[in-house]
Amino acid sequence: MTVLSRIHGPEDLRALPAAELPALAAEIREFLVESVSRTGGHLGPNLGVVELTLALHRVFESPRDTIVFDTGHQSYVHKLLTGRHDFTGLRGKGGVSGYPSRRESPHDVVENSHASTALSWAYGIANGRVVAGERSRYTVAVIGDGALTGGMAWEALNNIAADKDLPLVVVVNDNERSYAPTRGGLADHLATLRTTRGYERFLEWGKTRLNRTPVVGGAMYEALHGVKKGLKDIVAPQGMFEDLGIKYLGPVDGHDEQAVEAALRRARAFGGPVLVHVLTQKGRGYEPAVNDAADQFHGIGVINPETGLPLEIAGRSWTDEFSDELVRIGAERRDVVAITAAMMMPVGLQPFADAYPRRTFDVGIAEQHATTMAAGLAYAGMHPIVAIYATFLNRAFDQLLMDCALHRAGVTFVLDRAGITGPDGASHHGMWDMSIAAMVPGLRLAAPRDSAQVPLALRAAVDIADGPSVIRFPKGATAPPIETFRRVGGVDVLAETTMEPVDVLFVSVGALAPAVLGAAEKVETGGHSVRVVDPVWSLPVSDDLVELARSAGRVVVVEDNGVANGVGTQIREALAAAGVDTPVRLHGIPKEFLDHASRAQLFEQIGLTADAIATATLADLAGTHR
């Protein structure tokens, strides 16, 4: 029987002799490589936190004590130690989530996988326990050095430092990376802490001498403590945290389970907020991940576990199309600059950064700062490209509205992973961006339907200087180019019958064009005339689209966005304002949080397939004819 098979919960782990922990750590790493290579998932981060997670569950009594993981993709080891050993369906429909999930276990607390939130959660939980008279229950926040660059984390630290007796432990998991190497002043400070461990070694030397020669050693040790402040300033500059009022312990070797456990026990016994600085190695124990300079093992698809190479080579992605065109534009226009929030490689900015390093800014996990900084760059005569995931635009809405739009700043937001993203679940679906954008005065939004449209949209966007623009596209391989049948003003007609007026005007927003064309074909086969159009620029709604709708029997809008306040809603309102009474049917993502599953499964579930759209349209037409 393996050691891991005997661990059904944290109580089993706490009862395990310390001598068996190295074997358990090795088994966990082997399990992760074998399992995640078959399903895909976040491999590198979890290989790096094995010993740390073991120590957390041996020192603290989850769920009585609460452990909050910031950016919960590092929770796979936690899941194993809390009894979830079946990873065969990891991130798949009905399987284990890739993030903490309250439905799965009472040991899971925060399901939101957006970074820099754990400290605020933990501060609230810890204070709630104190108010309820449960001061003996501890709260632990595990936050990466990358997530610590987020402004919200520092807002929380400001409050944590003020509660001197709060039973709260902050564990900084410092692996020098989030998606990529952590950058900025905080990263430099942590690097200094990482490399100046002389103070602790000096005290350990003093303790050794004290044990050997009590009299001389005792005097010497008093002298050591007499110069403690000076030594700290020289060789252990943890003052940034301690000056805030937060006790600092570390740095600790995150792969020495006993050392981490000892530090956590000291933190628990302190009686107030403590920050434990733990050094880990992302990808530990798996050579392809350890040597992964491009951080491709942060999140992987299905791979060969022996080589680390993907089993399926995907075609060109939407991100590739954006990335290549941005480099070409950069060569032509010196005013074009790029900004991202700790996602240089995932959003395709690395080639631009390589070519134009002085015109590329990675601000850390700080979307709000990135957006307002972009407004400042625009004021200074630049045209900034802010490249982030669609789901993260939510975090910068105020800055988009008040700093960019109000000031008519020419800033382009390029939103990767828009729409249904699949296995990463509710917090990663990019299903709110068009609804958010629709509320912003003066904003223009394009949702390219295929690979050929991405460069065209980007070039048009960088020419917009009097307000924000948005380009959004999904994850994965691009759709093949779809030819334009004809153009009506700024609207592309993708297909139509010759009959006028048409029974149905299909408005296809973005990458769902193949499904919409399939639905239109089925409706035409059912005896109805159809026209399929791509508005190209979906926001604001164009007069050309309004006129096309005026001559149609009904309008069907299909979008990979929340149906509430999305493009379809804007079209309906534009028609009403123009006195057009054509009925409008909306197809989009329902107003609910969607669980993890494949993109195809989720499209089937919510009815964004050619068959489902056609069936609904034919039913509407049948009702009209009765």
The 10s digit of each residue's pLDDT in 8-56 is 999 999 999 999 999 999 999 999 999 888 888 888 889 999 999 999 9
> Which one has a higher pLDDT value, 180 or 585?
585
424 pLDDT tier (thresholds 50, 70, 90):
confident
In this structure, the answer to whether residues 385 and 417 fall within a common structural domain is: yes
Residues paired with 310 in a beta bridge: 303
Q: What is the mean pLDDT of residues 279-297?
A: 76
Distances (CA, A) of 95 to 72, 89, 423: 16, 4, 10
Instruction: List Cβ neighbours of 313 (8 Å cut-off, separation of 6 or more).
Output: none
> What single DSSP character describes residue 361?
E
Confidence at residue 29, expressed as pLDDT on a 0 to 100 scale: 94
The active-site residue, picked from 129, 282, 284, 449, is 282
Confidence at residue 228, expressed as pLDDT on a 0 to 100 scale: 41
- The answer to whether 395 is a known catalytic residue is yes
CATH no. for residue 350?
3.40.50.970
- The answer to whether 228 is a known catalytic residue is no
* Greatest mean pLDDT range, 110-124, 404-418, 486-500: 404-418
pLDDT digits (tens, 9 = 90+) for 255-278: 999 999 999 999 999 989 999 999
Q: What is the pTM of this model?
A: 0.82
Q: What is the mean pLDDT of residues 550-576?
A: 96
Confidence at residue 187, expressed as pLDDT on a 0 to 100 scale: 53
Per the annotation, where are the binding residues for Mg(2+)? 145, 175
In this structure, the answer to whether residues 68 and 178 fall within a common structural domain is: yes
- The answer to whether 367 is a known catalytic residue is yes
* Residue linked to tokens 């434990």: 276
375 pLDDT tier (thresholds 50, 70, 90):
very high
Side chain identity, residue 218: G
In this structure, the answer to whether residues 175 and 270 fall within a common structural domain is: yes
Distance CA 238, CA 243 (A): 9
Confidence at residue 300, expressed as pLDDT on a 0 to 100 scale: 67
Q: Does pLDDT of 541 surpass 60?
A: yes
What is the domain extent for residue 177? 43-72+98-196+237-286
Establish if 52 belongs to a structural domain: yes
How many structural domains does the chain have? Answer: 3
What the block records as the tokens of 168 is: 């709260």
Establish if 569 belongs to a structural domain: yes
Q: What are phi and psi of 557, to 5 degrees?
A: -105, 130
In this structure, the answer to whether residues 517 and 582 fall within a common structural domain is: yes
In this structure, the answer to whether residues 243 and 269 fall within a common structural domain is: yes
> What single DSSP character describes residue 423?
T
185 pLDDT tier (thresholds 50, 70, 90):
low
Confidence at residue 301, expressed as pLDDT on a 0 to 100 scale: 72
In this structure, the answer to whether residues 129 and 188 fall within a common structural domain is: yes
Per the annotation, where are the binding residues for thiamine diphosphate? 73, 113-115, 146-147, 175, 286, 367
In this structure, the answer to whether residues 163 and 265 fall within a common structural domain is: yes
In this structure, the answer to whether residues 324 and 437 fall within a common structural domain is: yes
> What single DSSP character describes residue 309?
-
Per the annotation, where are the binding residues? 73, 113-115, 145-147, 175, 286, 367
Establish if 163 belongs to a structural domain: yes
Percent of the chain with pLDDT over 90: 66
In this structure, the answer to whether residues 191 and 244 fall within a common structural domain is: yes
The active-site residue, picked from 321, 367, 524, 559, is 367
The active-site residue, picked from 395, 417, 449, 531, is 395
Distance CA 498, CA 65 (A): 69
Q: Does pLDDT of 123 surpass 80?
A: yes
Summary mean pLDDT of the chain: 87
In this structure, the answer to whether residues 62 and 108 fall within a common structural domain is: yes
